[in-house]
Amino acid sequence: MGYQRVAFLLALITVVGLAVQCNAGVTSTYRRRLAASVDMPLDADVFQIPSGYNAPQQVHITQGDYDGTAVIVSWVTADAPGSNTVKYGKSKNNLHLSAEGNVRQYTFYNYTSGYIHHCLLQNLEIDSTYYYAVGENDSVRQFSFKTPPAIGPDVPYTFGLIGDLGQTYDSNSTLTHYKANDDAGALLFVGDFSYADNYPNHDNVRWDTWGRFIESSAAYQPWIWTVGNHEIDFVPSIGETVPYKPMSNRYPTPYSASGSTELFYYSVRRASAHIIVLASYTAYGKYTPQYQWLQAELKKVDRTQTPWLIVLLHSPWYNSYNYHYMEGETMRVQFEAWMVQYKVDVVFAGHVHAYERSHRISNINYNITNANCLPVPNNNAPVYITIGDGGNIEGLATNMTEPQPSYSAFREASFGHAIFDIKNRTHAYYTWHRNQDGNAVAADTMWFTNRYFNPTNDS
Ligand SMILES: *[C@@H]1O[C@H](CO)[C@@H](O)[C@H](O)[C@H]1NC(C)=O
Ligand SMILES: *[C@@H]1O[C@H](CO)[C@@H](O)[C@H](O)[C@H]1NC(C)=O
Ligand SMILES: *[C@@H]1O[C@H](CO)[C@@H](O)[C@H](O)[C@H]1NC(C)=O
Ligand SMILES: *[C@@H]1O[C@H](CO)[C@@H](O)[C@H](O)[C@H]1NC(C)=O
Ligand SMILES: *[C@@H]1O[C@H](CO)[C@@H](O)[C@H](O)[C@H]1NC(C)=O
Ligand SMILES: *[C@@H]1O[C@H](CO)[C@@H](O)[C@H](O)[C@H]1NC(C)=O
Ligand SMILES: [Fe+2]
């Protein structure tokens, strides 16, 4: 087929010197400078505090409801609580609407946060650019975002993908490359935000710098949050016994809109996609709230309205690097059969600091007394993509299991981001971009055909 030939040629061009067979896995031989990933210093340009008394900083937005007509705006003021109001409107010079949010602070060991504001903007018109302003007096700051088109099966929509971002020079390269893509309307973030927990006492100042770092993207398009292990921040040795304290105070999700009872697992619908966010570190065994919620949510998915069923989680179920190997195994055993039953198109994960894409495979036949415990090709199964290569301080995962397992289609230890570009109900074009190349270059590509409307052998 045409797309296979294109993908094959691209693989040959970008992965020089490899003998690629049509369905064999590729371990990229791309050579990059292997250097430590160094956090940007506190006085880096991307961490700059906006000027003006009590000026809003760390501005970010996320989807605020199930279907994309609401947005949660969040920001921090450093000196005083200030105003909780967001003024907004469809004309840049006339922000005639306003919504009132709330403000909170938290402490973490000897750190005290700034004043953290969250404000829900509701009943937004679809497919519209909104301008919004936060702050008071001389320190008002204005931003904008675009609401998605109405839910519908053939609505084109482009999602970005970043994981395990952190705040190093490599993180800056990843975010810069991502921002160069003008088409992406929302970012699917697969967990591990700031890596503040790598500092003494989980120095939460690094949560603030991270918030300022991502603002240049996250204030203008929703980042859909998945929780990672670096958000747990559980440190009994310094008296911090409430897990997820920084994340849950700073990064809200619209969990209740999808009937979830916890911040960390939920789902949103956007354009032609139904996105299910799972929590790798919240109980998922049978009878747990997450299990019951997912069981009910999968039944609510209407592929005739949202043909593209996308699952996000942190700890990958299929990963052939020698890092976090099989950590996602218990969740895979619990939920993989549902992914096949409901024909999920793609599962994105992070956690492993490298890139990998699988074939469509499943491993759901084992029952303790039989020996059916190997992954097998399965056209109803999702493609599994690990995109934990945002560029954090812990560096690249370079050590891979050998030989490359048959389920692994492509793997490369480089930092980068990905784009999932939905064209219509049958086709989506997926590209992965390594930071060493210009944004226009795709180092890995795949034409996805939809599992519900067009389940061809695409992987
Ligand atoms: C981060 O990247 C941007 C865009 O390339 C650049 O302007 C800025 O100087 C970079 N900051 C650091 C600390 O490298
Ligand atoms: C918190 O404590 C650490 C060491 O215990 C110290 O280095 C740091 O300056 C303190 N920070 C604040 C804000 O007091
Ligand atoms: C900012 O403006 C508000 C009214 O919008 C006023 O009540 C407040 O005193 C002003 N704050 C400063 C620091 O000027
Ligand atoms: C396990 O699988 C084997 C082979 O498919 C089958 O014969 C057996 O009945 C299964 N056992 C259970 C408990 O389902
Ligand atoms: C790669 O990982 C394997 C398995 O953990 C280990 O035996 C090996 O020493 C590692 N190789 C390098 C170069 O770190
Ligand atoms: C869907 O998009 C694909 C890829 O752009 C295109 O080849 C196909 O013709 C489209 N289908 C319809 C019904 O427009
Ligand atoms: Fe992680």
What residue owns the CA closest to ligand 2's atom 11?
A: 110
What's the CA-to-centroid distance between 322 and ligand 5, angstroms?
7
pLDDT of residue 23: 64
Which DSSP letter does residue 243 get? T
Atom 9 of ligand 1 has which residue's CA nearest to it? Answer: 45
Q: Which of helix, strand or coil describes residue 213?
A: helix
- The count of C-alpha atoms lying within 13 angstroms of the C-alpha of 212, restricted to the half-sphere facing its C-beta, is 22
Low-confidence stretches of the chain (pLDDT < 50) are 1-22
- The Cα-based distances of 328 to 21, 189, 275, 372 in angstroms read 29, 18, 20, 19
What would the two tokens of residue 329 be?
Answer: 């195994």
Q: Which residues are within 8 A (CB) of 6 and not within 5 positions of it... i.e. 6 or more apart?
A: 445, 447
Listed residues: CB within 5 A of ion ligand 7: 192, 228-229, 351
- Nearest C-alpha to atom 8 of ligand 5 is from which residue? 399
- In the chain, what are the helix, strand and coil shares in percent, each to the nearest 5? 20, 30, 50
- Determine the Cα–Cα distance for residues 448 and 58; give it in Å rounded to an integer: 35
pLDDT at residue 96, rounded to an integer? 98
My answer on whether omega of the bond before 403 falls inside 30° of 0, hence cis, is: yes
Q: What is the reported pLDDT for 7? A: 45
Ligand 1 site residues, Cβ closer than 6 angstroms: 40, 44-46, 169, 172, 176
Report which secondary-structure segment, H or E, holds 47: none
Residue 426 Cα: closest atom of ligand 6: 1
The beta-carbon contacts of 397-400 under 8 Å, at least 24 apart in sequence, are: 397/321, 397/322, 397/323, 397/352, 397/353, 397/354, 398/34, 398/354, 399/321, 399/322, 399/323, 400/27, 400/320, 400/321, 400/322
- Helices 205-218 and 169-179 pack at an angle, to 10 degrees, of 20
Is the full-model pTM beyond 0.75? Answer: yes
Query: Helix, strand, or coil here: 293?
Result: helix
CA–centroid distance, 230 to ligand 2, in Å, is 21
Q: Looking at ligand 3, which residue's alpha carbon is closest to its atom 1?
A: 137
Distance from the alpha carbon of residue 176 to the mean position of ligand 1, in angstroms: 8
Question: In testing the pocket of ligand 5, which one of 27, 320, 322 has its CB within 8 Å of the most ligand atoms?
Answer: 322
**Cα(361)–Cα(256) distance, rounded to whole angstroms?**
32
A 10 A CB-CB count for 99 gives: 17
137 lines ligand 3 (CB under 6 A): yes
Centroid of ligand 2 to alpha carbon of 114 (angstroms): 16
Q: Supply the residues annotated as catalytic.
A: 324
Round to whole Å and give the CA distance between 42 and 44.
6
